[in-house]
Amino acid sequence: MSTFSLSRLRFQSCFILLLSITFTVSVIIYVFGFHTELSKVWFHKFAKLIRFQKVKNHTLINMTCLTRHNVTDMLSMESMTAFPLNEASSICYHEAYPHNYGFIIDEPDKCEQENPFLVLMVPVAPHELEARNAIRSTWGNERVVQNKNITVVFSLGLPGIEAEKQQEELRLESQQYHDLIQSDFMDTYINLTIKTMVIMDWLATRCPQASYAMKIDSDMFLNLENLMSLLLRPDTPKENYMTGKVMWNRPVIRDKNSKWYVPKELYDEDYYPTYLLGMGYVFSNDLSRKIVEVSKEIKPFNIEDAYVGACVEQIGISPSDPPNPFQFKDYFSGSKGSQPRGETGSSFVNYQRSRCRSAPQSCR
């Protein structure tokens, strides 16, 4: 047993040494200007290998500090939002920063073709075709409401189990519906923060002409007539606006057995900043670019809606309460005996997990 452990240790040491030497050589090539096409491609693939290993291990806390001057070519291959760069400065690109990822499936011209007033961004797992079809056959099928165009986009990461088979199915689904965007991070619960930031970046780069956007979970029922009435009100702000179910003074959960556990290494405050519950929130689309930009400065943690709240706080604005507090409902309608709270006629976001997925026709 000891001989096996020693051999394994030697193998790991040799592998790490080989990676270190290879990386050092590639950096030297970039620093001294040997910009051959082969070296660029190789360096890009090597960086993606290291990044994939980080994502695979769910290490959101790891940060890689690189000098912008030395990685301009690498970033240009998969940059999504362009920001002014100071050649002499350096920056830490953390795992939630969307420029770390590139699109495998994309619809870059969708907003130019549809000219939406409102974009509905739906994060969903690659295997959840049933959920996507339920939305396509219900509220996601409405393209014009009160004379305003609406676009629906589903956001995905990389599949895990049966990846090759699922990826081919996603490719065919994309060809049929043209409503999928997929980025190259592992689609896991802990990576929801990455998925949300990729959504923000897609809005900022692919759809800046939209006036408003909404991030809405796939197990929601959305009343678009009521939502559009809110957005078209004369007193609804057109910039720096964000509304939903506001979460105030929420403590950070330190119980390691909890689904929402966050270690101090990721977020050391005892309470989250004010944020909007991630089931569904609406925002003026100018915020998407601002959120992406400030995310460079904020260490990521795995509670995606609270992380967006931290970004919004950094921008210097506060989420707004909706005009009617019952417009965002978080009751679970599939549980026995549960009843809606408030005025159902004015709400537009309801938590509808079991009913919308098992019987889409009941959500129309």
Residue 289 CA to residue 303 CA, distance in Å, equals 20
For 300-329, what is each residue's pLDDT tens digit? Answer: 999 999 999 999 999 999 999 988 877 776
Number of domains forming the structure of the chain: 2
Give bridge partners of residue 181 from the DSSP assignment. 155
Domain ends where: 51, 81, 100?
Answer: 100
Average pLDDT value over all residues in the chain = 77
Domain ends where: 59, 76, 100?
Answer: 100
Domain ends where: 100, 119, 139?
Answer: 100
Residue 164 CA to residue 237 CA, distance in Å, equals 45
Token readout for 53 is 């290993």
For residues 195 and 260, membership in a common domain is answered with yes
pLDDT in tens, the chain (364 residues): 444 454 555 556 666 666 667 666 665 555 555 444 444 444 444 444 444 444 443 334 333 333 322 222 322 323 333 222 233 233 333 567 787 789 999 999 999 999 999 999 999 999 999 999 999 999 999 999 999 999 999 999 999 889 999 999 999 999 999 999 999 999 999 899 999 999 999 999 999 999 999 999 999 989 999 999 999 999 999 999 999 999 999 999 999 999 999 999 999 999 999 999 999 999 999 999 999 999 998 999 999 999 999 999 999 999 999 888 777 765 433 333 333 333 335 566 665 443 444 344 444 4
For residues 122 and 137, membership in a common domain is answered with yes
Structural domain boundaries, residue 180: 103-363
For residues 83 and 160, membership in a common domain is answered with no
Per-residue exposure over 299-329, b if at least 16 CB sit within 10 Å of its own CB, e if not: bbbbbbbbbbbbbbbbeeeebbebeeeebbb
User: Taking each helix axis from N to C terminus, what angle separates 163-177 and 129-136, rounded to the nearest 10 degrees?
Assistant: 10
For residues 210 and 232, membership in a common domain is answered with yes
